[in-house]
Structure 1
């Protein structure tokens, strides 16, 4: 490892040379209290910025060991340090001048959720921060004086202000750890008490707008109905009171614009822990919960949807159903079966984004179209068995279909963003109406194993001189949170509504690429593959599937459910 002074001399020696001379800076450098690693150098000032890593040993950082002794606390501390480093470094972004991306300092942008990321990693030895810097140039001529400012003035200040315990506000860091530990207590209490979700009184559920995840100002604070109110004793905050949703079938009803979907959206994001000030810090949902919907046009491969769809008129096999262009009903049926395969214990459904014919058939429709002419068994007739025989609960937003009242364990009415327990009131009203058919025969979960096939991961193309052929692995491209492309195949992930961050999509892309390279040209058991990938992530870390020698920044841990969903759409 070279000393920082050697880096300084090299920078001055290459000033005003052609941009490729920056390549010689790649390597490791010892600064007084930390180490700087230049892991990748961009090809020109208009290309993607250079990849850097800073390592601060624990002997210098001096954060109390209890802050990172277990994974729960460690993820919270990593998130807090990354946010702090991003906040400080943003002040120096583009302070160094030049062409193209010169002077940019890019650090992972953290949203409202606390996620495990490669951008900040705490190991036994110390703290690693990964980020990107645009090496300055005038045109394509090196301006190393500006880079010297970044590496010897700006970055040392960022490290000092964010990665040393003596400089970080101790109370602020302590609060981050305490909040994470209290959130963990609530998750443990959900399991002990037979609950699938908890919403604390005073929570702010509405968001500012469709493209902002920040809490809405002047929103109505959440207040639990007394009949559903529970109190949980937390480790640091003391007792907290709010609404507990029991296992079973829960309906969220009410008029339009009264907050039904707002509550469901808060619950679907409750699978993640949130930062202080988000308003949903204590909205906690079973972390296996899967928000599903109809996805017209999605690809389905060998899914047993016979629980919901049978006897298609063209004789197609619904026990191994495949299509490149699913209808709303077949896609929603496949989504439920895939959720079960991914070990989800809670289904989150909004009537507005569901296929109507999949959810219910009213009495008149059943009389007009006889049952033997209808291949769809609606969700209404399977929901009860899903809970009683498979232990899978449902939280469903309803606005127009009253048939679900007959199978509900609890019914919440949203009235001007305030929840009201109308379970008993509704049950009395139901006696005045004829009960619809709410149960179908022949309940059986899929038992056959599914397989996944991979084509070759290697593509052949002409070399750049056009004199021969070269082989290379397929390229991965991530287009925001909602889409990725591996080789020539594009995956549409926009309806995976619980994907919280683009960096999770990046990790899904790496997982897919890794699996395709490992099983190139082979067929393997889908569940076995998924479980092996999840074990690899948990034991070796997120970066272990990147296929790169140096762990890249820009990866975040996805849930088991989104990993399954991604591969099912491939």
Structure 2
């Protein structure tokens, strides 16, 4: 502590670069402060520090297995964030002076690099804007931050005496129950589960927090009610969605898309109070939509779109500007390529001509290479074992291919399968679905040319996330706005670093091989293994394989071809 004070006094009012002398470690009593990287000026990205407690005094049950450890690290990250808001004064001069922050978590629980819980210590990784007067050192402000505010944060959020142990146990047990429930799905023959009492509507389109007043708690139709036993919550009852083809119907504003959205977020565990704590889906579920204008590189879409005019094959299809239908076909093929057992499709965000073709258009347009999704949805399950939950509001022909129909009315779900059969018999489809078990095949894998991804930006190479929906690779910006299952900017940063590692290796590899290589390294060595960095990478969250692959697929410079043509 005295050494830190001495350095600060010595560099006071010197040029901002004198802060470099702080790099190193300092014993501050109950914890050690590591100053890993110092910013070059007050307007640059903040300095990176770690605080590591001398021991881990928390009860071992809070981090006794992998799931609990992730949940407890998530809890402590949130505790530090709250403590920072209470303890840190904020603005102390020019630029980012006075900032002190930790990675901001979303409503979901993810492995993150912001917190490390080990048997012998707890470590939080933070960014600090060292204070400045203009462009000179403000030693008094820095001393207040590092020797007053930071110790208070440690006392309130990283030491047992400052942490609410009951809330910590509740947080960990909630996450463990959700993870256990998701693991039970295959054995129960289910692709998703929505517990009774779940609150699905969100606060607003700009907020992922639960809707408060007016929210209707979910209640399962009796026909789909499934009871499960969880390790902490005991017996729970709710709606189980079986494998196969499930249709969700209903009028506008009655909760169809809200249910589908909740299922798409069911790939993640949620924090207590979110409302969707026990809404789970298969971990590899993928939300599919049309995406006008996206680039497509060497994707095998032949199972959905046949030969194009001029005899152009679709077994290795590329375009810089896909239409709604071809983009949706590519999204499905890419999901199958990386692996999925559940597709989630909403009519509202789909290409009409991809979803269905009526009798008149079939008669008028004889040369149509697109096989509508209504013809594919059954073979996807029968041939490939891929289930689908599809939301429709205006296409009754989907009643012919559904195993079950869930009707949403006033945010309440009920089984409408029997009624749907009556309607189907009374109003037979004018064009029966034309699909058969042989019509859909798994798309061929692709090899990606690493040299097609240019990381050069001036004299540097860059591969970084810019917020949650953009990746910067050299001079190229990759747009990820339509990846609806990205939860945090930390995932985007991790994806960027994984792509950068592949590109820097300069070796062609398959898409699935690239993704597996990156995530296997994380499983073995932690998130710190993703990408090069100085100091610590305290801004990373674990992405799913599906989002890593999806980001690769949206690189406009990407050169890829199916294995046969690679």
Normalising by structure 2, what TM-score? 0.95
1:433 and 2:427 correspond: yes
SS of 2:208 mapped into structure 1: strand
Deviation at 1:98, TM superposition (A): 2.0
Give the Cα separation in 1 of the matches to 2:394 and 2:90.
Answer: 56
1:52 and 2:52 correspond = no
Match of 1:71 among 66, 81, 85: 66
1:543 to 517, 528, 536: 528
Which residue is equivalent to 2:140? 145
Unaligned 5+ runs, structure 1: 462-471
Q: Report the Cα offset of residue 169 of structure 1.
A: 1.2
How big is the shift at 1:296? Answer: 0.7
Q: Hey, what's the Cα distance between the residues in 1 that align with 2:505 and 2:119? A: 30
1:476 aligned partner: 463
Distance 1:564 1:127 in 2: 33
SS in 1 for 2:143: helix
Q: Is the 8 A contact 2:455 2:474 kept in 1?
A: no
Task: Please list, as runs of the form range in 1=range in 2, the aligned pairs for 1:141-540 lying within 5 A after superposition.
Answer: 141-218=136-213, 219-370=215-366, 373-435=367-429, 436-441=431-436, 442-446=438-442, 448-455=444-451, 457=454, 459=456, 461=458, 472-519=459-506, 522-540=507-525
C-alpha deviation, 1:484, in angstroms: 1.4
Is 2:130 the partner of 1:130?
no
Query: Per-residue deviation at 1:460?
Result: 8.0
- Matched positions, count: 551
* 1:92, distance to aligned residue in structure 2 (A): 2.9
**Cα RMSD, aligned residues only:** 1.5
Counterparts in 2 of 1:274 and 1:541: CA distance versus 1, 3 Å: same
How far apart, CA to CA, are the structure 1 residues paired with 2:96 and 2:156?
A: 25
Superposed displacement of residue 126, structure 1: 2.4
Task: Check the 8 A contact 2:379/2:440 in 1, yes or no.
Answer: no
Measured after TM superposition, the shift of residue 94 of structure 1 is 3.4
Q: State the alpha-carbon separation in 2 of the partners of residues 8 and 107 from structure 1.
A: 24
Question: Helix, strand or coil: the match of 1:116?
Answer: coil
3-state SS of paired residue (1:166): helix
Q: Secondary structure at the match of 2:287?
A: strand
Cα distance change, pair 457–358 in 1 and its aligned pair in 2 (3 A) = closer
Give 1:33's aligned residue. 30
The corresponding residue for 2:99 is: 104
CA distance in 1 between counterparts of 2:533 and 2:505 reads: 14
Residues 457, 545 of structure 1: alpha-carbon distance in 2 compared, 3 angstrom cutoff: farther
Native 8 Å contact 1:248 1:392 kept in 2: yes
Separation in structure 2 between the aligned mates of residue 200 and residue 558 of structure 1, nearest angstrom? 25
CA displacement 1:136-186 (0-9 Å, x = unmatched) = 111112111111111111111111111112321111111111111211221
The answer to whether the 8 A contact 1:96-1:146 is kept is: no
Distance verdict in 2 for CA 1:404–1:173, change over 3 Å: same
Greater displacement, 63-72 / 441-450: 441-450
How far apart, CA to CA, are the structure 2 residues paired with 1:61 and 1:310?
Answer: 61
Displacement after TM superposition at 1:524 (Å): 2.2
Instruction: Report the counterpart of residue 466 of structure 1 in structure 2.
Output: none
Q: For 1:279 and 1:452, how far apart are their aligned partners in 2?
A: 41
SS of alignment partner, residue 167 of structure 2:
helix
Separation of aligned partners in 1, 2:501 and 2:139: 37
Q: Secondary structure at the match of 1:214?
A: strand
Report deviation, 1:512: 1.0
- Whether contact under 8 Å (1:349, 1:397) holds in the other structure is yes
SS at 1:531 equivalent: helix
Deviation per residue, 1:235-292 (Å, 9 max, x gap): 2222111111001111110001111111111111111010011111111111110001
